[in-house]
Chain A
Amino acid sequence: MADNTSMSVEETLAACRRLDGGDAGASAVSMNQEAGPESAAAPQPVEIKPESSTEPSVGVASSTKGMSVAEILAAARREKSGESQSAPAPKVSSASPQATPAAGKPGEMSVADILAAARGKKTAAPAPAKPVAKAEAAAKPKPVAKESVSKGPSSPAALDTQSILSAARKSGKLGPMSKEEAKSKGVVTERGGKTAVAEKAAKPVKQKLEAPPMPDKPMYARRGDQMAATPAEQTRRSFFSSAVGVFFGSSLAVGFTMLTLTNVLWLLGLARFMFPNILTEPPTRFKVGFPDDFAPGQVETKFIPQFGVWIVRYQYEGQPQIFALKSVCTHLGCTPNWLDAEQKFKCPCHGSGFYKDGINFEGPAPRPLERYAIRIADDGQLEVDKSQTFQEELGAWANPASFVPA
């Protein structure tokens, strides 16, 4: 590798690719197979016979050929002019050994041969032959440009190659690559990475070399901000956006306005729904009969289904009273049952129990049942008013509106 007349594998490859033109994909594949360690297992072309599986086949090939790089390149140039136009397009998609195109033909050099020769030229020691497995991960769209930065022996022969390469690059095909191509390029990248370690000595020289300029991006491939940078684009774009604002934006505004209006109308309708024309609920004030209708100690349950109220004639703090108990458990709002045998209200949900006067005593209910307002109406009947409640724990049961003395 220290040989400064040598050139890297990828350079040669790139050169070959340009020279071959349409043949590029397949030749790269064939190179890949022959140069990699797998090549030992794969069927070999006639001209290339590796001595062992560990030693790269390229070394052998070069020894048999014994051509200088310049010769190889010259040969390649000749091939290009003579052959590449008429060469049949190989099966690019196939990665099998059969895809190696011209390897078997005597007299003609396949790209792989050229590559092998080139590599053999510079490899006094066998080239590192590991990385094919990783190659796929490294497949990137622009390996050639990168390679050209990191390459570059300074010998005249190498410079010659360089110029050929750049020329080839310009005349070679641009644009999208096939997968196979990208893959093979990736392989090349990987190899270049490996050899670069060995070429450390040549590094300062490499720095001077410049990558050939990339072609301009076509219009369709540019990003939005790059496009906007050109004034012509700007005006067109702003015109377009203003057009959007006028046509689409106004319809959007109209649409949202209509939506808002509809929602407001809908909400108003909902509000109207809260005030029905006919109210089927029982009135909150109702008469339950004369005080004498209730025997002392009686709990009247017949108003429960319609009004949800017990009329109780009992005593509270020693005073005989008639009062109306609200039939809602103070724990979680179930309707307790009046159990006559046990003389208590009992809630079926969590077992809260209340004495006859409404005071809680069992279960989780934290406070007594509530009372509704009750009074003696003008006609002498008891009248319950459900709009007002009295809570014992707040001392409201002392309020004369909460009971009728009996």
Chain B
Amino acid sequence: MHGDYSVFLDRMSGFLGGYYLVLALMNAVAAFYLWESGKAKTIFRLGRFPVTTALLWLIVSGVFIVIAPIALGGGAGLLRLPRAVEEGVNRFMDPTVYTLGSLVILAILFVFRRFFVQPTVAWIMLNLSLLVMGLSMTNPSFADIVTKPDNVPIVAMVYLLSFFTWLSAYRAVQNDDRARRGEPPLEALENEKVLVWPDLVYIELICMVALTAVMIVWAVALQAPLEEPASSVKTPNPSKAPWYFLGLQEMLVYYDPWMAGVVLPSLVVFGLMAIPYLDFNKQGNGYYTIEQRKFAYVTFQFGFLVLWVTLIVMGTFLRGPNWNFFGPYEIWDTHKVEALNNIDLSEYFWIYMLGMGRPRAPEGAGELTKLGYILLREAPGILLVLFYLVAVPPILAATVMRKFFVRMGFIRFMVLANLLLFMAMLPIKMLFRWTVNLKYFIAIPEYFLNF
């Protein structure tokens, strides 16, 4: 095992050396840019000498330059997270912690966005995440998953998405400040028109060339992720959908196929289509803002970042053989045992609460009698779901979403409320699954109807 690890480190050292050099270069460029443009801010003064952000990034760059030869020269084994940290992460990481943790982190980023969107803070976070990434790459399990040809672009896209989310929040915070001072948004100042030729065409040409170059490098550097020939009786383990469907695949863990594969995705599409008809907020047209469109922003980011992107990341990096959950530094063991005895709500109600068997139709009963017994058996779940979808919208209208109800009218509000409730159903079900192993609220396998 130890020998294997040294072989693994030899293989990784070249990559890591280059990786740290790139980080050094990145910081050096940032330092140069700040110094050159005069945008560097003074952090504090050492005597009379100002310590600016440019100097800070120059120092960081120097540190990475020192690290790079260590990684290249066979010292990659030193550059790793403490074993205790890795094991701690593995032990504490489970779907609940992962999803709720992502939610909490995103909520913190949102609430304190004024602090986090500062370029200096954002750059620090980028550096830290890249450093942790580099240190983690010396862990074989982590490196194995992250460097899979399938997964490399997903890592890149996580960073890309973070960047664009930061960019929009950065501009939104600026615009919100300007709006408070009564100034027009930044976008209103940039009303210069540019020409299709040559401006746009040149940009497109450059993009085309750059994209082609990236594709060529990608195609040469990463082997095509081909697998064994398909067989109807042998499913790869784990069997993963294309990356963009991994959120759906994760949804399928909690819901019946017709629900997670048909109803909920359709509602996502219809919900997005309905936005223009539901949105009564006329502000925020043509510029970034958060303050003026708080509800829309939070709802969208919750649906996109929490219910879609984090699920894709989880499905890509944290779901291993048998679709078990694995920590980021955990070996993908096919025989990992997880106790997942899932129980339907009807069992909870009839067996555990009332201490009796679930109602069952007597032998030889007619179809209608059987159906009656099935409905009786699932009555708690049916009532619960009916309450959720029928009673909750009026309650919302009367309490927290009163303003919405007044502004939107009955039908539009009901559409909005039901779309929101369906969106919320996924995390609710996930939490019930993880905490009390709830399988289905309504389980009628006799008619392929499970909810």
Contacts and interface: CB of A to CB of B under 8 A. Distances in A.
B335 to A, nearest CB: 5
A393 B361 CA distance: 12
B440 A349 contact: no
A363 B450 CA distance: 13
A184 interface: no
A331 B257 contact: yes
Interface in A322-379: 327, 331-332, 334-337, 339, 341-342, 346-351, 353, 361-364, 366-367
A304 B233 CA distance: 7
A305 interface: yes
Contacts of A367: 445
A1 to B, nearest CB: 44
B249 A349 contact: yes
Contacts of B236: 348
A394 interface: yes
B440 A366 contact: yes
Contacts of A305: 231, 233-234
Contacts of B324: 351
B342 interface: yes
B443 interface: yes
Per DSSP, are chain B's interface residues mostly helix, strand or loop, or mixed? loop
Contacts of A350: 249, 252-253, 323
A109 to B, nearest CB: 48
A348 B322 CA distance: 4
Contacts of B450: 366
A334 B60 CA distance: 50
Contacts of B445: 366-367, 393
B237 A348 contact: yes
Given A346-B322, A347-B323, A366 B249 contact: no
A364 B440 CA distance: 8
A348 B235 contact: yes
Interface size class of B (residues with CB under 8 A): 35 or more
A308 interface: yes
Given A342-B335, A351-B324, A393-B445, A335 B439 contact: no
Nearest to A335: B235
B233 A351 contact: no
Contact of B233 (A335, A342, A346, A394): A335
Nearest to B337: A342
B257 A308 contact: no
Interface string B206-249: 00000000000000000000000001111111110000000001
Interface in B53-79: none
Contacts of A339: 322, 334-335
B441 to A, nearest CB: 12
Contacts of A394: 446
A391 to B, nearest CB: 8
B255 A364 contact: yes
B380 interface: no
A348 B323 contact: yes
Chain A contact residues: over half helix, strand or loop, or mixed?
Answer: loop
Contacts of B446: 393-394
Interface string B174-208: 00000000000000000000000000000000000
B20 interface: no
B362 to A, nearest CB: 12
B241 to A, nearest CB: 9
A363 B439 CA distance: 8
A142 to B, nearest CB: 37
A283 B186 CA distance: 72
A300 B342 CA distance: 26
A337 B235 CA distance: 8
B291 interface: no
Among A337, A351, A362, A367, find the residue whose CB has the most chain B CB atoms closer than 10 A.
A351
Contact of B253 (A348, A361, A364): A364
A145 to B, nearest CB: 41
B253 A366 contact: no
Contacts of B341: 361-362
B360 to A, nearest CB: 10
Contacts of B334: 339
A351 B443 contact: no
B256 interface: yes
Contacts of B254: 364
A367 B450 CA distance: 10
B271 interface: no
B126 interface: no
Interface in B399-451: 439-440, 443, 445-446, 448, 450
B296 interface: no
B190 to A, nearest CB: 30
A298 to B, nearest CB: 19
B321 interface: yes
B272 interface: no
B357 to A, nearest CB: 14
A353 B340 contact: yes
A275 to B, nearest CB: 21
B443 A366 contact: yes
Given A347-B322, A351-B323, A366 B256 contact: yes
30 contacts: A305-B233, A331-B256, A335-B233, A335-B234, A337-B235, A337-B237, A339-B334, A342-B335, A346-B322, A347-B323, A348-B235, A348-B238, A348-B239, A348-B321, A348-B322, A348-B323, A349-B238, A349-B249, A350-B253, A350-B323, A351-B324, A351-B340, A361-B342, A362-B341, A363-B253, A363-B323, A363-B342, A366-B256, A366-B448, A367-B445
Interface of A: 304-305, 308, 327, 331-332, 334-337, 339, 341-342, 346-351, 353, 361-364, 366-367, 393-394
Report the 4 A-B pairs with minimum CB-CB distance, sorted nearest first: A351-B323, A362-B340, A367-B445, A348-B237
